[in-house]
Structure 1
Amino acid sequence: MAHPDRPEGRPLVLVGYAVAFAGAAVLFGFDRTLGVVAGALNVVFGIYFCRHLAFAVAAARWAERDLVAADVGLDSYTPTVAVLVGCKDEELVVDGMVAALLALDYPADRLTLVVVDDGSADATGAKLDAWAVRDPRLRVLHRPPGAGGGKSGALNEALALVESEIVLVFDADHEPEPSALRRLVRHFRDPVVAAVMGRCVIRNGQDSSMASTVFVDYLSGYLVNEYGRQALFELPAYGGANCAVRASTLRALGGWNPETVTEDTDLTLRILLMGQWVRYDVSAIDFEEAVVSAQRFWKQRYRWARGHQKCLRDYWRPLMRSPHLSLLEKVETTLFLGVYHVPVLSGLGLLLTVLRALGVGDLPVIGLLPLSMLLFIGPLAELCVGLLVGRVERRSAWRLLGFLPAFALSIWITSRAYLDGMLGRPYSWVKTTRSGATSTVLAPAVPAPAPAATEPAARPPSFALPGEDR
C-alpha cells in the first residue's frame, strides 16, 4: 500500500497556492495573474475535452460490435470463484441480491458465496441466515458492530475464509445477470490480467429525477468512459462492484486497503504499480439501485471524491516512477486520477468568468469562452453517445437537462471534499442509503453470437426507462 499511515491533510500546499498567487499578483498585476490562471485552466480543460471526445468516438465506433460479439469463451474456462458481498443495514435490498447470486450460471462445485453482515442494526443478518438455511451454497459471516475498516474490512474478513482462484465482488444492492460471472472470469486466461470490471446498469431510473440523471450518467460512465479507456489505452479501472480480481494478486497486495474510502481506485493503482492489468467487459451486466435524492447523491459522490482525490495525492509519485507503465499510460492514469479535481477547477473557471463579467481580469470575454465551452461539451459528448449506444428511448434525451443542476452540485461536492481532504478533516467510510427499489430498466437480451462476415451487424441490447416507449 502507498503511504497507509501518512496523514491525509496538506494544508501547507493550500498556503503555498495562496502565497504564489499573491506574489504573482504583486509582481505582475492582479488582472494579468488572473489571465494566466485562466489560460492554464483552458489548457487543462482542453486536454480533458480531447479525452472525452476520444472516448465518445471509440464507443460510437466499436461498442456495438463488442456488445454483439460477446459470447466467446463462456463455457471453456471455469476457475474456482468466491463471490463476496458486504452488507450493512441492507434489509431493503438483500433478498434481491441473494436471489440473483444463487441464480448465477456457474458450476456449483467451483463457486463459493460469502455474504458479510457487517454489524447491521436492522434485519439484514436474520434475512441472510434464513437464506443460508434454505440454500447451503450461501455462507454468512457476521461481524460485530464497530468492527472497523468499512467495506474493505468486511471483504478482507471474507477473503480469509476462501481459497478460490478468483474473487468476485458485488455490492448489496446489485443483481447480476446469470451470465455475468462467466463473462468476467474468461479474461483471467491471460496471466497478466489481475482484475476485470463489468458494466453496471441502473434499475430504478424512474423513481426520481435524480435517479433518472444517474441512469444516464451510468450509460456514459460504463458504455463510453470505461469502454474508451479500455479501447484506447487498455487502462480501465477496477470499479469495486461487479468486479473480479485474481486472489493471488489480491493477497500479494495485502487485500483491500482499509485506510481508504474508495478501495476500488486504490486497488486499481496498486495493481498497475505491480505490473499487472485491469480489463473491462461491456457485456458482463448487473443492475444496481441509484440514489433517489440530492442528499444521498451528496453523500455518495462526496465519498467518491474524497477517496479519489486522496489516491492522487498518495500515488502520483509512485506512478511517475513505475517501470511497468509507458509515458502515455502514466499520463492517462494521472488524468483518470484527476477526474475528481476537474469540477474543482471548473468552479474556479466559472468564478473567473463571473469576475470578467464584472470587469475584473485582463482577458476579453472571448478569451474566457473556452472555460465554459470545454466544461460542458466534452462530458456532453459522452452522455450523448451513451444514450445512442444504449439505445435509450429518444425522449430520454431531454434528461440531459438534469445534468446542469447535477454538474453544479458536483462542483460544490468535489470542492468541499478537496478542502476537507487538504485540511485533514477526519472522514471514514459511509455506506449509501438504499430505497429498496424493485423496479427495473428493460433488461438487455443476451447478446447474439457474432454474425458472419457476410451478414449485417445485429443491433446491441437496448435499454429504456420503465413506462417509456422505445
Structure 2
Amino acid sequence: MSAAPATADHLAAPTAPPAHESRPDGRRLVLVAYVVLLAASLAAFGVDPVLGYIAGALNIVFAIYFFRHLAFAVSAARWAEADLLAADVDLDGYTPSVAVLVGCKNEELVVDGMLTALLALEYPADRLTLVVVDDGSDDGTGAVLDARASVEPRLRVLHRPPNAGGGKSGALNEALATIDAEVVLVFDADHEPEPNALRRLVRHFRDPSVGAVMGRCVIRNGKESTMATTVFVDFLSGYLVNEYGRQALFELPAYGGANCAVRMSTLRALGGWNLETVTEDTDLTLRVLLSGQRVRYDVSAIDYEEAVVTARRFWTQRYRWARGHQKCFRDYSWPMLRSPHLTVMEKIESLLFLLGYHVPVLSGIGVLLTVLRAFDIGDQPIIGLLPLSMLLFVGPLAELTVGLLVGRVERRAAWSLLGFLPAFALSIWITTRAYLDGMLGRPYTWVKTTRSGSTSTVAPVLVAVQKR
C-alpha cells in the first residue's frame, strides 16, 4: 500500500458549520423569549390551563418517541440475532487499501491492549497501515507507542505537541494528512476489535453510495462497577436495538466515531473532521448525508471498549455528548430539512435523531409537572399525567429489555435495569445543563474520557452471541 503523505490539495479545511448557526446573543434571546412567553401565558390564561397545555404537548412528543422506540425494539427482536450469528465474510478479492487511525492522549493504561488488537486484524498486511497519534500525552503513552513501533513496521506513530488543539478531530486530521488509502478506519484508544471486524466493515464500500460504516461496540468491563453495568446495558440498547432499528427501518444509522470506517474520497471532499465540534462523529454523519451518501451499520463487526466506572466520569462523557449533539441540531437541522437527498420520512427520522439529547430536557419538565400536580398545582387530572409518566419510561425500557434478550444476558443481570433510575435522573440534569450552557454561549472544548485500564471480560453476556 502506498504510504505517501497527502498534499495540501488533498485535505481541505474541515467544512465549516452552516452559516445559519445562531450566535450566543441570539440564543440567549431565545431563552428570554421562552420565559416571557411562559409569563405572558400564565398571566393571560392562569396557571392550571397553561400547565395542562404543556403536559398535553409533552404527551404528544413522548408518544412519538415511544412508538419510535417500540418500532426499533420490534425490528431488533425479529432480526438482530440472526444478523449477529451470520456467516463469516468472504471479501472475494475486494481488499481496498485501509488506514487505521487512533488518537491517544494519556492512554497509558489501555494503549498496549489496543495495539495488540489492531495488529491482529485479519487483512492483507500490504493493504493496511496503522497510524496512532500521541496527542500531547504527559504520561507513558508516547513511550509505549514508540516501543511497539520500533519492532512493528506496520505501525506509524505521530507525536503532537501539548495543547496542539482540535481534540480528537485535530489528532485525526493530522494523521489523515500523512496517509493515502481508500478507506479510513477509526478506533479510540481503549477499543479492542475482533480480528474480523475490519473485513466486515470494509465489505460495505463495494456500494458506491456508502460513505461511512459503523460497527457495533460492546462494553468489556461491565462488572467493574454499578455504573459500568448500567453503561453495558445502555450499549446493548443503543447498538443492538436503537442503531439496528435505524438501519433496518430507515437505513439511517449514525457514524459512531469508533469502530467506524469512512471512504477516503468522501472524507477528503468534506475536508476531514470538523475542528469546531466536540462530537465529530455526529457531525460527520450529517455531513455525509447532506453530501448525498449514506451511512451503514454492521451489527456483526464487533469491537470491545471500556465503560466509565464512576458517576463523575459518566457526567464528563455524557455532557460532552450532549453539548456536541445539541450543537449539531443547531448547525444542521435546517440544511437537513432542505436536503434533496433525503425523503420526507428520512428527514423526520433525522430530526428525531438530532433531538435525542433534547428529549431528557423535556423529560425533566414532565417530572416537574408531575411533582407540581402532587402539590395541587395545575388542574391536569392525575389520570391525564399517566400517559406522560408511562411514555416517559416505557419506550426506553422496551429497548433496554430487547437489548437484554437479544444479547442473551444472564437473567440476574436484568436487575441492572434498576440502575437506570438514577442514571436517567442524572441524564436529565446533564442534558439540561448542557442545553442551558450551549444556549448561553458558554465556552467548551473537547475533554477526553478518563480510563480505568480494566481488562475484565465481557459481562454478563454469553460469548456465543457476542462472538460468532
TM-score by length of 1: 0.94
Residues in 2 aligned to 1:320 and 1:218: alpha-carbon distance in whole angstroms = 29
Q: State the Cα distance separating 1:70 from its structure 2 match.
A: 4.3
Residues in 2 aligned to 1:40 and 1:307: alpha-carbon distance in whole angstroms = 26
Q: State the Cα distance separating 1:29 from its structure 2 match.
A: 1.7
Task: Please say if 1:370 is aligned against 2:384.
Answer: no
2:68 matched residue in structure 1: 51
2:377 matched residue in structure 1: 360
Q: State the Cα distance separating 1:462 from its structure 2 match.
A: 4.6
Given candidates 205, 228, 233, the residue that maps to 1:188 is 205
Given candidates 317, 323, 346, the residue that maps to 1:300 is 317
Residues in 2 aligned to 1:4 and 1:336: alpha-carbon distance in whole angstroms = 19
1:171 matched residue in structure 2: 188
Task: Please say if 1:387 is aligned against 2:391.
Answer: no
Q: State the Cα distance separating 1:194 from its structure 2 match.
A: 0.2
Residues in 1 aligned to 2:252 and 2:153: alpha-carbon distance in whole angstroms = 38
Identity %, equivalent residues: 78
Q: Deviations for 1:273-310, whole angstroms, at most 9, x for unmatched residues?
A: 11100000000001000000000000000000000001
Task: Please say if 1:25 is aligned against 2:37.
Answer: no
**Secondary structure of 1:309's match?**
helix
Query: Is contact 2:255–2:284 with CA below 8 Å preserved after alignment?
Result: yes
Given candidates 148, 153, 160, the residue that maps to 2:165 is 148
Q: Deviations for 1:126-182, whole angstroms, at most 9, x for unmatched residues?
A: 110000001010000000001000000000000001110000000000000000000
Rate the CA distance shift 1:147–1:294 in 2: closer, same or farther, 3 A.
Answer: same
For residues 271-310 of structure 1, what are the structure 2 equivalents within 5 Å?
A: 271-310=288-327
**Secondary structure of 1:240's match?**
coil
Q: Deviations for 1:16-71, whole angstroms, at most 9, x for unmatched residues?
A: 11111112222222211111111110000000000000000000001112122242
Alignment-mate amino acid for residue 301 of structure 1: R
Q: Deviations for 1:204-233, whole angstroms, at most 9, x for unmatched residues?
A: 000000001101111111000000000000
2:144 matched residue in structure 1: 127
Given candidates 106, 112, 117, the residue that maps to 1:95 is 112
Q: Deviations for 1:234-258, whole angstroms, at most 9, x for unmatched residues?
A: 0000000000000100010010001
Given candidates 241, 250, 256, the residue that maps to 1:233 is 250
Query: Is contact 1:195–1:246 with CA below 8 Å preserved after alignment?
Result: yes
Residues in 1 aligned to 2:400 and 2:99: alpha-carbon distance in whole angstroms = 34
Rate the CA distance shift 1:388–1:248 in 2: closer, same or farther, 3 A.
Answer: same
Residues in 2 aligned to 1:401 and 1:329: alpha-carbon distance in whole angstroms = 34
TM-score by length of 2: 0.94
Alignment-mate amino acid for residue 295 of structure 1: R
Query: Is contact 1:340–1:414 with CA below 8 Å preserved after alignment?
Result: yes
Q: Which moved more, 1:433-442 or 1:4-13?
A: 4-13
Given candidates 282, 292, 317, the residue that maps to 2:334 is 317
Residues in 2 aligned to 1:114 and 1:436: alpha-carbon distance in whole angstroms = 21
Q: Which runs of 5+ in 2 are unaligned?
A: 1-14
**Secondary structure of 1:461's match?**
helix
1:60 matched residue in structure 2: 77
Query: Is contact 1:343–1:411 with CA below 8 Å preserved after alignment?
Result: yes
Query: Is contact 1:391–1:462 with CA below 8 Å preserved after alignment?
Result: no
**Secondary structure of 2:137's match?**
coil
**Secondary structure of 2:465's match?**
coil
1:3 matched residue in structure 2: 17
Alignment-mate amino acid for residue 364 of structure 1: P
1:461 matched residue in structure 2: 465
**Secondary structure of 1:229's match?**
helix
Alignment-mate amino acid for residue 335 of structure 1: L
Rate the CA distance shift 1:249–1:443 in 2: closer, same or farther, 3 A.
Answer: farther
Residues in 1 aligned to 2:115 and 2:22: alpha-carbon distance in whole angstroms = 38
1:108 matched residue in structure 2: 125
State the number of aligned residues: 450
2:8 matched residue in structure 1: none
Query: Is contact 1:350–1:371 with CA below 8 Å preserved after alignment?
Result: no
Residues in 2 aligned to 1:101 and 1:321: alpha-carbon distance in whole angstroms = 40
Q: State the Cα distance separating 1:372 from its structure 2 match.
A: 1.2
Q: State the Cα distance separating 1:393 from its structure 2 match.
A: 0.8
Query: Is contact 1:86–1:117 with CA below 8 Å preserved after alignment?
Result: yes
Q: Which moved more, 1:85-94 or 1:75-84?
A: 75-84
Alignment-mate amino acid for residue 348 of structure 2: V
1:249 matched residue in structure 2: 266
**Secondary structure of 1:200's match?**
strand
Alignment-mate amino acid for residue 41 of structure 1: L
Residues in 2 aligned to 1:275 and 1:220: alpha-carbon distance in whole angstroms = 28
**Secondary structure of 1:430's match?**
coil
Residues in 1 aligned to 2:113 and 2:457: alpha-carbon distance in whole angstroms = 12
Residues in 2 aligned to 1:179 and 1:8: alpha-carbon distance in whole angstroms = 45
Q: Deviations for 1:433-453, whole angstroms, at most 9, x for unmatched residues?
A: 00000112169999xxxxxxx
Query: Is contact 1:75–1:182 with CA below 8 Å preserved after alignment?
Result: no
